[in-house]
Chain A
Amino acid sequence: MQAIVVNGKRLETDADPSTPLLWVLRDHLGLTGAKFGCGVGQCGACTVQIDGAAVRSCLAPLSAVGEGQVKTIEGLSADCSHPLQKAWIELNVAQCGYCQAGMLMAAEALLKAKPDPTDADIDAMVSNICRCGTYVRVRAGIHRAAAEIRKTRGA
């Protein structure tokens, strides 16, 4: 058995240490928010955070997580109150929605590093694929959430 910390909770798993974190989360821990899209770190649907950094969980073996704090879409807020979640709902960002958990986790990591991101910052750090083509609204959602976070902080 190995324990990892996910969304602030210590969880035990009997998954083999070589199992990618994505499948540990989805099949062993019942957290299906992070999605399987490609398995090769290309599409970003599986994006979670480890210690605040966006990570493509399909490539990260369980053994590499160690004591790192894993955060998934289920841990973004308890009640859809995160400014990114609110912006996503207000702007009707999602179409099929399958890639959006990964988009959101990449976006949140970006906003922590760059509270006032430029378009180029967004392009660089949110390189996830969306086949529905929601990119225009993803970008708008990030800018809207960034503005709200800055306002709340009185910046």
Chain B
Amino acid sequence: MNAISIDRRRFFVSVAAVGGALVVGVQPRNAAAGALASGIAPWLSIASDDTVTVFVATPEIGNGVLTQCAMLVAEELGCAWSHIHAEPATPTFNYLNGELYTKAMGRLGFFAGRSTTPARMTTLLQVGASARERLRAAAAQRWQVPVSEIEARDSLLRHKSSGRTLRYGEVAEQAAKVSMAEEPALKPQSQWSLLGKSRPGKLGAAKVVDGSAVYGMDVRLPGMLYAALRQAPVHGGRLKSYDFEAIRQMPGVHSVVVVDPSEPRTNIKVPAPLPDLTQAASGVAVVAEHYWQARQALDALPVAWEAGPGADWATHEKISAAALAVCEAPAKEVLSKGDALGRLGQAGAKTVSAAYLTPFCDHVTMEPLNGTALVTPERTDLWHPSQNPQQAFAIAVEESGVHPSNVHVHQTLVGGGFGRRVHCDDVRMVVAVARKVPGRPVHVIWSREESMRQGRYRPLVATKMTASLGEDGLPDAFLARYSGVGASTTGLVTCAYANGPIPNFRVEGQTVPAHIRTGPYRGPNYNAHAFMVESFIDECAAAAGADPLDYRLKLLARFDDPAWTKCLKVVAEKSGWGGRLPRGQGRGVAISNWSATAPGQPKEGTTVAAVARVEVSRAGELKVRQIDMAFDCGQVIDRDGVLAQLEGGAVFGLNMSLNEMLTIRDGQVVEGNYNEYPMLRMGDLPDIRIHFDALSGNDRYSEVGEPPVGPIGPAIANAIFAATGKRIRQTPFRLQDLSWA
């Protein structure tokens, strides 16, 4: 198990007794001298009442990261599951103590997106083991028996021959005084009893089902005011005027606050995971005693805006046309292997060429954007459902101008992230409003319409692909030219086909400078390019007269990771690939991979293969009947958590592909609520079947939240082609003409 063993040259396990509890922390060693840095970052504490607290920097956004962290500790510590809970590690502590958490976990240590960061896994296993051994040693001292005779299980220390027991909490303080020459080695994986098995029960589940869980929206503080926010409807526009007198007398109204991006901000900078801190948007907020009063008054407030340069990009049709036009001409080279241009220029070879387009989409997290801040000249407190608390901290420092040692981010539960709460532009606006009402906590709430129209959207992506097919029908040269707003190379440069299967592979790209703000959205850019590449590979298979599954198997035989083939074979078998279907039905297959660490490389990230079975009526009504998925993320820690992410990822991929599209008129986002932005509901779901049979057992635990979003759309589009002969090159499918004769 080399992949998970703590780096002892870089870290040192420290323990302390704090209020009768055993606290276990990790100290990074200074790089040069090997000496210890000052301070201890607590990772784990065991209180005298047996309560085990795991301190986790990464917020819970629904992916079960807190449960997984607790499982890692519990595996080594041997505590009863009912005794364990998780608390947030704070970015202020991190800042004040030499970045002790981020030194252990890297720049993105506080970022909620990856739940399987190897550094965090090893550290949690180690602190669990180190605590257990100290507890055993303390019990051995107490009973004057050899340590080897003491068993630690279910939060009890048991002397095997005498049958005596002690609770962990009874020796916690004493355990903090045990000194050990060497920290214990981690259990071999073969002895794991919790990890890789099903989940012992998600932490915090009871609070969700009894309504006591506290999301950002549920923060309640004495003297708290509410603010309803409106930002320039054309992104990048500015507030021109407003008339407070028109609403001054409305019930509960306290004040109107203006957020002006051109006002000077402080120069206090603290390390941030994403160094380019998002800027404030021009906006206006009505502050009132209650949210409904603020909302009513904001709706009544006369406001005029200046559109700014965004007015030049008046419609999504104009933006899409510009992006597609860029794809027709040579652009900046971002990847070139072999001689794709030369090959494509050769006469005689069979050539396939097609342009694809995906639209802006909003995250529509169920919890609308919101946050609460209390700003005084001396101190800032922020209660926030962030996906990135350290980023929130850096922005709260800059926006409030308060010294970082007095800025405190209180992480709440998060009602969905999917990337929307990573850059913390919402934090910027919350603090910008609250600092104009010093001394009072202000809960700033975006309406659903404001959340949807002031998003940081899934980029609009246009990509044209051209391939020439070799003698064997497989592509021997491939050229992709991408463009769009916020578009990137992810999913093209990081595509497995670039690393062996297609010898001549070239990617070019150039974005379009439209004003619509974009950001990460579950599987950024991969979610678009997986659709495009996997549909295009299907086009190549059709041109070669090959079965789409066989075609991919042949192509991926050239990629140095047999798990891809396994995923395809498993999903084909489970889905009944090749079986006869009635007219109007079809199956489609797709496969893609998302990796945060080494994208596009064999045996990295998570590979997901999907088969969709669809039915299309002659009039063009689409029903997705069944989705089968097989995947390889190496190994799994939290089996039921992995299953939940794949189920949810399939639904996310379905909705994105079938339904989602924002449109632009007069430079503004049109859609504001779910009645204009349809979402799948329970009755719309196909039969979703997740298969674990393709897991390779490779020595990695890759994330599973983002990968499943990739292959769903192309599997459906390819199934539509199989059913109707129509090739669908744009999403959402609900807006495409699928009728057939």
Contact = CB atoms under 8 A, between A and B. Distances in A.
B675 A94 contact: no
Contact of A92 (B205, B226, B415): B205
Interface stretch (B26-34, B73-81, B362-370): B362-370
B292 A129 contact: no
B673 interface: yes
Contact of B644 (A77, A95, A99, A104): A95
Given A80-B206, A127-B682, A133 B651 contact: yes
B162 to A, nearest CB: 38
B192 interface: no
9 contacts: A28-B290, A45-B366, A92-B199, A92-B202, A94-B205, A98-B366, A131-B679, A132-B648, A132-B651
A137 B646 CA distance: 12
A50 interface: no
B277 interface: no
Interface string A91-122: 01011111111001000000000000000101
Nearest to A95: B62
Given A32-B220, A37-B368, A133-B651, A94 B208 contact: yes
B213 A135 contact: no
Contacts of A101: 208-209, 211
Nearest to B417: A96
Interface string A126-143: 111111111111110000
B590 interface: no
Contacts of B368: 36-37
7 closest cross-chain pairs (CB), A and B: A33-B211, A133-B651, A96-B62, A123-B683, A98-B415, A73-B211, A133-B648
A38 interface: yes
A42 interface: yes
Given A37-B448, A40-B675, A89 B211 contact: no
Contacts of B290: 15, 19, 23, 27-28
Given A89-B206, A95-B63, A133 B211 contact: no
B292 A27 contact: yes
B448 A32 contact: no
Interface of chain A, main secondary structure: loop
Contacts of A36: 217, 368, 445
A22 to B, nearest CB: 9
Contacts of A129: 366, 674, 679, 681
B561 interface: no
A103 to B, nearest CB: 9
B685 interface: yes
Interface residues of B, number: 61
B416 interface: yes
Interface of A: 15-16, 19-20, 23, 26-28, 30-40, 42-43, 45, 72-74, 76-77, 80, 84-85, 88-89, 92, 94-101, 104, 120, 122-124, 126-139
Interface centre among A15, A26, A133 (most CB of B within 10 A): A133
B647 A136 contact: yes
A127 B683 contact: yes
Interface centre among B217, B655, B682 (most CB of A within 10 A): B682
B336 interface: no
B201 interface: yes
A73 B685 CA distance: 26
A33 B217 CA distance: 10
B260 interface: no
Contact of A133 (B215, B365, B641, B647): B647
A131 B416 contact: yes
Nearest to B67: A92
B648 A88 contact: no
Interface of B: 61-64, 199, 201-202, 204-206, 208-215, 217-218, 220, 226, 251, 290-292, 363-368, 413-418, 445, 447-448, 640-641, 644, 647-652, 655, 673-675, 679-683, 685, 688
Contacts of B415: 35, 96-99
Contacts, number: 183
Nearest to B452: A38
A99 B213 CA distance: 12
A149 to B, nearest CB: 16
B652 A100 contact: no
Given A95-B644, A133-B647, A133-B649, A80 B682 contact: no
Nearest to A78: B210
Given A129-B679, A129-B681, A135-B685, 17 more contacts: A19-B290, A19-B292, A35-B217, A36-B445, A38-B448, A38-B674, A74-B211, A96-B61, A96-B367, A96-B417, A98-B215, A101-B209, A123-B681, A123-B683, A128-B681, A133-B647, A135-B682
B366 A130 contact: yes
Contacts of A99: 366, 415
A100 B220 CA distance: 20
Given A35-B366, A92-B640, A133-B647, A16 B251 contact: yes
Contacts of B448: 37-40
A45 B448 CA distance: 12
B211 A72 contact: yes
Contacts of B651: 132-133, 135
Contacts of B679: 43, 129, 131
Nearest to B210: A80
Given A23-B292, A96-B61, A136 B688 contact: yes
A40 B63 CA distance: 28
A123 B365 contact: no
A124 B683 contact: yes
A27 B443 CA distance: 11
Contacts of B685: 135-136
B291 A98 contact: no
Nearest to A23: B292
B449 to A, nearest CB: 8
A43 B678 CA distance: 10
A82 to B, nearest CB: 8
Contact of A134 (B447, B648, B674): B648
A125 B327 CA distance: 47
Contact of A80 (B209, B418, B650): B209
Given A129-B681, A131-B416, A92 B367 contact: no
Contacts of A28: 290
Interface centre among A129, A132, A139 (most CB of B within 10 A): A132
A35 B367 contact: yes
A26 B370 CA distance: 15
